[in-house]
C-alpha cells in the first residue's frame, strides 16, 4: 500500500509529511515512519511541527503524502485540532489531491464521524478529520471482534456507511471507488430497506459507497 501511495504521489520525489501524534511516543512513531518511507525510496520525509502554526500550515500545503500513525485516534485529532485552522488546511489538501495514508488509528481519523473507542457494547464517537464525510472507518474489525461497533454507529447514523478494515488489510480510494488490498477482508455496513446490511470484500475487490 505504501509503495502504491508513493507512486501515486510522484515517486521518490514526493514530499512525505508525518503526523505521529496518535502514538504514545510521537518521536518513536516519527522515527519509524521516516525510516519506513526512506526505505521505500521517498527522499523528502519530515515530521509535522504543531508547535508553530505557520510552519505547520506550510508543511501541509507543500506535502504530497501525509501519513497518520497508529495508536489512539483521539490523541491524533486533539493534537491536530489544537493548531488553529490546521484541520481545515488538511481537508483542503485532501480535496486538492494530497495522498492521505494511515493504518489502524491512522485510518480511523479520516472519517468525519470517528469511532474513538468503545467497550461493553457501547461505541464512542467524536469528530474526526473529515476527509470522508459519508464514511465511518473502523479497524481490526475481525481480529478484535469489532463488527458490533459499526453496526451500532450506523444504526444511529443511517445516512452513513461503515467501512471496517481488518488487520493487514486496507483500501485505496480513487474517484469514489474503494479497492481492497491485503490479507483479510473489509466489511461494509449500511442501513438499507429498514435494516442493517453487511457486505464483505477481499483483496482485489472494488466497491462504492
CATH code at position 59: 3.40.50.880
Q: How far apart are the first and last CA of the chain?
A: 21
| Residue 120 pLDDT greater than 80, yes or no | no
What is the domain extent for residue 146? 110-209
Supply angle C-alpha 175, 6, 207, rounded to 5.
Answer: 30
With bands split at pLDDT 50, 70 and 90, how would you rate the model's confidence at 157? very high
Taking only the tens place, the pLDDT of each residue in 71-111 is 999 999 999 999 999 999 999 999 999 999 999 999 999 99
As a whole number of angstroms, the distance between CA 165 and CA 151 comes to 14
Are residues 158 and 200 both part of a single domain?
yes
Are residues 89 and 17 both part of a single domain?
yes
pLDDT of residue 118: 85
Residues 142 and 163: beta-carbon distance below 8 Å? no
Are residues 51 and 68 both part of a single domain?
yes
As a whole number of angstroms, the distance between CA 47 and CA 178 comes to 28
Q: Select from 71, 103, 135 the last residue of a domain.
A: 103
pLDDT of residue 197: 98
Are residues 5 and 99 both part of a single domain?
yes
Taking only the tens place, the pLDDT of each residue in 6-47 is 998 999 999 999 999 999 999 999 999 999 999 999 999 999
| Residue 119 pLDDT greater than 80, yes or no | no
Q: Based on the structure, what is the number of domains in the chain?
A: 2
Kindly report the average pLDDT of the chain as a whole number: 96
Residues acting as catalytic residues: 104, 140, 167
For range 112-118, the mean pLDDT? 95
With bands split at pLDDT 50, 70 and 90, how would you rate the model's confidence at 134? very high
Total residues belonging to the chain: 209
The pLDDT > 90 percentage for the chain reads 95
Are residues 142 and 98 both part of a single domain?
no
pLDDT of residue 121: 81
Are residues 9 and 44 both part of a single domain?
yes
Q: Select from 49, 83, 103 the last residue of a domain.
A: 103
Residues 169 and 205: beta-carbon distance below 8 Å? no
Burial class (CB in 10 A: 0-12, 13-18, 19+), 186: buried
With bands split at pLDDT 50, 70 and 90, how would you rate the model's confidence at 207? very high
| Residue 173 pLDDT greater than 90, yes or no | yes
- Closest by CA to 114, choosing from 89, 78, 85, is 78
pLDDT of residue 107: 97
Output the 3-class SS for the chain.
Answer: CHHHHHHHHCHHHCEEEEECCCCCCHHHHHHHHHHHHHHCCCCEEEECCCCCHHHHHHHHHHCCEEEECCCCHHHHHHHHHCCCCHHHHHHHHHHCCCEEEECCHHHHCCECEEEEEEECCEEEEEECCCCECCEEEEECCCCCCCHHHHHHHHHHCCCCEEEEECCCEEEEEECCEEEEEECCEEEEEEEECCEEEEEEEECCCEECC
Torsion, CA 135, CA 140, CA 145, CA 151, rounded to 10? 0
Amino acid at each position: 500500500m505504501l509503495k502504491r501511495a508513493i507512486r501515486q504521489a510522484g515517486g521518490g520525489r514526493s514530499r512525505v509529511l508525518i503526523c505521529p501524534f496518535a502514538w504514545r511516543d510521537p518521536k518513536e512513531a516519527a522515527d519509524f515512519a521516516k525510516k519506513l518511507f526512506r526505505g521505500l525510496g521517498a527522499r523528502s520525509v519530515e515530521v509535522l511541527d504543531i508547535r508553530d502554526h505557520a510552519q505547520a500550515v506550510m508543511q501541509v500545503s507543500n506535502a504530497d503524502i501525509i501519513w497518520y500513525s497508529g495508536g489512539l485516534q483521539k490523541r491524533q485529532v486533539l493534537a491536530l485540532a489544537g493548531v488553529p485552522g490546521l484541520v481545515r488546511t488538511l481537508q483542503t489538501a485532501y480535496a486538492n489531491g494530497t495522498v492521505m495514508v494511515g493504518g489502524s488509528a491512522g485510518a480511523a481519523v479520516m472519517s468525519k464521524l470517528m469511532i474513538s473507542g468503545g467497550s461493553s457494547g457501547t461505541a464512542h464517537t467524536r469528530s474526526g478529520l473529515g476527509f470522508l464525510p459519508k464514511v465511518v472507518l473502523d479497524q481490526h474489525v475481525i481480529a478484535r471482534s469489532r463488527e458490533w461497533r459499526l453496526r451500532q454507529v450506523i444504526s444511529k447514523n443511517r445516512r452513513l456507511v461503515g467501512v471496517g478494515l481488518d488487520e493487514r488489510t486496507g483500501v485505496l480510494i480513487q474517484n469514489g471507488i474503494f479497492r481492497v488490498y491485503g490479507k483479510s477482508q473489509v466489511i461494509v455496513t449500511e442501513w438499507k430497506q429498514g435494516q442493517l446490511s453487511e457486505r464483505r470484500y477481499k483483496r482485489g475487490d472494488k466497491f462504492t459507497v
